[in-house]
Amino acid sequence: SVGNEPGRPLIHLTPNVGWMNDPNGLFYDEETSVWHTYYQFNPNDNVWGLPLYWGHASSKDLINWENHGVAIEPENDKNGAFSGSIVVDRNNTSGFFDNSTAPGQRIVALYTEQSTVGESQYAAYSLDGGYSFQYYEQNPVLDINSTQFRDPKVFWHDETERWIMTLALSQEYKIQIYTSENLKSWELQSNFSHHGILGYQYECPGLAKVPVVHDSPSNVTVSNNNLTTVDHKWVMFLSINPGAPMGGSFNEYFIGDFDGKTFTADDAATRVVDMGKDFYAMQTFSDAPNGDVIGLAWASNWDYSAYVPTEVWRSSMSLARNLTLRPNSPNPETTQLALYSEPLIDYSALSTNQSMRKTSLELSSEETVTYRLAKAAEGLLEFSLEWKVNSSALPSKHEFADMSIYLRGVEDDDEYLRLGYEVNAAAFFLDRGNSEEDFVNSNPLFTTRLAHFIEIFRVAEDGLPIYKVRGIIDRNIIELFINDGSLTSTNLFFLSEENYLGIVELSSNVDDVFTILNFEVKQLGL
């Protein structure tokens, strides 16, 4: 399993040593009930560099991870085994398998081999359920003489009974869609191009059939756009770097339909998967149980990933997330579908070391409410907060009126995260600037303050708006799920070694504006 240096997240996947970026080859092995994750891996250094490999890790519960080292190598030291995906070739369409491999373990990887002359697509297959790989003798399986042609994500399309591959012609802003009968020969069907925020380049596209859930958690039901009868939509996910609205790299998505050849977006909207700074190259698992769409992303940002203050290992993944489409606004007539993300946390694998809960608390500017969850602090916390806002009690329209949670370090309380809600901007904010000073001060691209506009979650009987957030903090990463995951924000922060968040303070600069309906904080352990 992974090491336990101070600062290393407990339930987020990190490499044992060296550098990690994009998740690759995600699949679920139903024979053994194991989740497999591969990743862009440089075992020789803690920054990106060639030769670049696929590292491999597996987990039974998506929070306890075991690293298995290198799974796929590039052809030589000047090359990289770049991002790609894995499919389970149950029917042996590729001919790589015989009866000695169980159908659920017929693993084929398709990835980009980057060499000094270009980027082309390679196939490799595994006869032992994904632990070791053989390389297809006739690689590449797809080569168009390009230096910007990468990140194949493949899935089986039931309706047309063919394999579908999406990949990026990065600097032409094209997602190409290919089809295949056997995973070896690929035919171009269409281009999906110049959609969304373009940035410098397209990377890591992926198409998934995402379930539509009609009852939104906030009790909004859909009655427009014929959405009531729809049980799924196709979603095209895309990674952009650099060029994120919040700086650096980010994931966007488009909702639409797919006929086996062409993806058609419903509208021209650009939607963001995660509004934080540290969520990139998201990929979904092949063969997840029940047709669920489970996403996992690299929890960093190309703007500063090489400089973050961790030495032995660098970068972690996000938590795995269950993705659904749900109505996103309180007005049933005009509501549209939006992506909802729910973190997959197996609480049976975690202990609750300490917890506190408060209901019905009126915040006043006079008093800070403090809770200390310092006992055996391990830096793994979860909180949820629901609050009501009475803006008519605001002293002035032109005042920064906030409710703030300060999460302070147990060993050094000058190191803290501040997050909360500001009334006039209707924004949930996060300030991660009061952590490891050397890093924060020397990296202007490590944006320290973020603010996300948030919608009303529901309306109380007295007519006042209610908002809701859930946060998971794992040593140096915070994942926020606002309004049941209609908006998420994933962000890194760095405390000094051995200093973990454990003191919780709740405060406001105004009176009579904020009522805390529910506030719960748990200190968890592995």
**Active site (catalytic) residues:** 22
Q: Between 279 and 387, name the residue whose CB sits nearer to ligand FRU.
A: 279
| Contact assessment for residue 301 and residue 248, using Cβ atoms and an 8 Å cutoff | yes
Q: Omega before 211 cis (within 30°)? A: no
Q: Which of 205/327 has CB closer to ligand FRU?
A: 205
CA 435/CA 206 separation, integer angstroms: 35
SS3 for 337-392 is: EEEEEEECCCHHHCEEEEEEEEEEEECCCCCCEEEECCCCCCCEEEEEEEEEECHH
CA angle 142, 143, 145 (to 5 degrees): 165
Q: Please tell me the distance from the alpha carbon of residue 197 to that of residue 195, in angstroms, as a whole number.
A: 7
Residues that bind ligand FRU (CB under 6 A): 21-22, 40, 52, 82-83, 112, 150-151, 203-204, 281
Q: Which is nearer to ligand FRU, 83 or 515 (CB)?
A: 83
62: left (phi over 0), alpha (psi -120 to 50) or beta: left
Nearer Cβ to ligand FRU, position 17 or 52?
52
Nearest to 330 by CA among 456, 466, 488, 482: 456
Nearest to 252 by CA among 262, 239, 264, 241: 239
Q: Could you say which DSSP state residue 128 is in?
A: S
Closer residue to ligand FRU, CB minimum distance, 52 or 504: 52
Q: Which residues pair with 516 in a beta bridge?
A: 361, 387
Nearest residue (CB) to ligand FRU, 42 versus 508: 42
C-alpha–C-alpha distance, residues 325 and 338, integer Å: 5
Cα separation, 397 vs 408, in Å, equals 30
SS3 291: helix
Tell me the C-alpha to C-alpha distance, in Å, between residue 272 and each of 244, 247, 322, 450, 509: 10, 13, 16, 15, 31
Measured from the CB atom, the residue of 84 and 485 that comes closer to ligand FRU is: 84
How far, in Å, CA of 24 to CA of 410, rounded?
36
> Judged by CB, which is closer to ligand FRU: 22, or 436?
22
Q: Which two tokens stand for residue 54?
A: 């696929």
CB within 8 Å of 234: residues ≥ 6 apart:
207, 208, 209, 210, 255, 256, 257, 258, 263
Tell me the residue type at 351.
S
| 8 A C-beta contact, residue 500 and residue 379 | yes
